[in-house]
Amino acid sequence: MKRVTEIAPGIHYVGANDRTKHRFEGLWPLPHGVSYNAYIIDDEKIALVDTIDSAFTGRLLGEVREVIGGRPVDYLIINHMEPDHSASIHAVRKTWPDVTIVGNAKTLQMVEGFYGISSTNTLTVGDGDTLSLGARTLQFHLIPMVHWPETMVTYEKTEQILFSGDAFGTFGTLDGAVVDEDMNVDKYWDEMVRYYANIVGKYGNPVQKALQKLSPLTIKMICSTHGPVWKKHIPQVIDIYDKLSRYENLDEGVVLVYGSMYGNTELMAETVAQGLAEGGVKNIVIHNVSKSHPSVILRDIFKYKGLIIGSPTYCNELYPEIDSLIRKIELRDVKNRIFGYFGSFTWAGAAVKRLNAFAENMKWDTVDIVVEEKQGLKPDNYALCLELGRKTAQKMK
């Protein structure tokens, strides 16, 4: 059964779709699945670029054999050691015992640490080093902390293809086609932002360094380890990664996140949203923190410039899900946001104090109207909630 896809002369996609896993990294829901991508470069020497998740090892080996028949894999290039890509290394070694494992010093240390494969038949490469496969030459560029310390990319000079690892990746399976020009890619954009915000989001500076480092290369195709092979949409994909890593918004609008047990804080949120709308904000994205998954909330926080958070006081603290969310925002060091906040309590308020400390810590441009209500929402604070919305809208202009 022939299902291998030749994406460029002599270069084949040999990945798999995961339509079963519930949560990537045990954390991030996969409503549209995810693909693990690997590639075969067929030359005098044969190179396999990355492997795939252990659940699909058999499929990987089968697909590689369909391309190369009885010839052996000569090189296994490892761009990234996270196990969604490295878990089939052992099987590749077992199937083609003479394969040379190619990685930088940090990679090879991890190969030994995770899989007990030591220095026999390995090749350590440094930044800018090249490897000839015969007619083609590969060049390696280290891009540390995108999003692990060992991450690197491999550039194939003849076809000008960048094998980018997780960089430029996205959630979402490949539903038939592999290259972007052969499919409708609309379904991937939101998932790309969710992938970036949650997995790479903390590493804006390393991503910026990587983009600068790779900018001299002429790139005709980006072969990432998740999602479509990018050919037609390369500028758009680079622009998304560039903006997100500079913590620049992709769209105009405000995300309003609130927690509420009995509806009092929720009513404040609805009122703030009304004020935003009155102020002219067209994109208002409201998340009940107990209903929307944090990965979706984080996606939208990365997407929009405005953020408003509301929380009741809970055991002298923030509402637990809000507390957990702001921890995730701090962890990713999200920059350059316009921020507003409000809260509620019944006997001694703590939520607003906590949100105030959070705002100071983030060094954001914070709206100077803060609403704190004791028990039910009353006319004064109703008016102030509207004003918080309107003032935020004004700042957005």
Ligand X SMILES: Cc1cc2nc3c(=O)[nH]c(=O)nc-3n(C[C@H](O)[C@H](O)[C@H](O)COP(=O)(O)O)c2cc1C
> Residues interacting with ligand X, by CB under 6 A?
260-266, 312-316, 344-349, 375
Report the number of secondary-structure helices (H) and strands (E) in the chain.
12, 23
Comparison of 247 and 314: residue with beta carbon closer to ligand X: 314
| Interaction partner, residue 345 (Fe ion, ligand X, none; CB < 5-8 Å by kind) | ligand X
The answer to the question of residue 156 lying near Fe ion (CB under 5 A) is no
Q: Computed from CA positions of residues 386, 271, 379, 343, in that sequence, does the dihedral angle turn out positive or negative?
A: negative
Of residues 187, 158, 160, the one with CA closest to residue 173: 187
Residue pointed to by tokens 């509207």: 386
What is the distance between the alpha carbons of residues 85 and 102, in angstroms, rounded to a whole number? 14
User: Residue 222 in contact with residue 229, Cβ under 8 Å?
Assistant: yes
Of residues 346, 344, 281, 345, the one with CA closest to residue 307: 281
Site for Fe ion in 64-93 (CB under 5 A): 82, 84
Comparison of 29 and 320: residue with beta carbon closer to ligand X: 320
| Interaction partner, residue 260 (Fe ion, ligand X, none; CB < 5-8 Å by kind) | ligand X
| Interaction partner, residue 43 (ligand X, Fe ion, none; CB < 5-8 Å by kind) | none
Comparison of 120 and 347: residue with beta carbon closer to ligand X: 347
Q: Smallest distance, Å, CB 286 to ligand X?
A: 14
Of residues 383, 372, 325, the one with CA closest to residue 345: 372
Of residues 286, 337, 341, 271, the one with CA closest to residue 312: 341
| Interaction partner, residue 82 (Fe ion, ligand X, none; CB < 5-8 Å by kind) | Fe ion
Q: How many residues bind Fe ion (CB under 5 A)?
A: 3
User: Residue 39 in contact with residue 11, Cβ under 8 Å?
Assistant: yes
What is the distance between the alpha carbons of residues 103 and 124, in angstroms, rounded to a whole number? 5
- The token pair at 318 is 């923030």
| Interaction partner, residue 84 (Fe ion, ligand X, none; CB < 5-8 Å by kind) | Fe ion
Comparison of 245 and 381: residue with beta carbon closer to ligand X: 381
Collapsed DSSP state (helix, strand, coil) of residue 342: strand
Comparison of 262 and 324: residue with beta carbon closer to ligand X: 262
Comparison of 155 and 195: residue with beta carbon closer to Fe ion: 195
| Interaction partner, residue 166 (ligand X, Fe ion, none; CB < 5-8 Å by kind) | Fe ion
Q: Smallest distance, Å, CB 267 to ligand X?
A: 8
Residues that bind Fe ion (CB under 5 A): 82, 84, 166
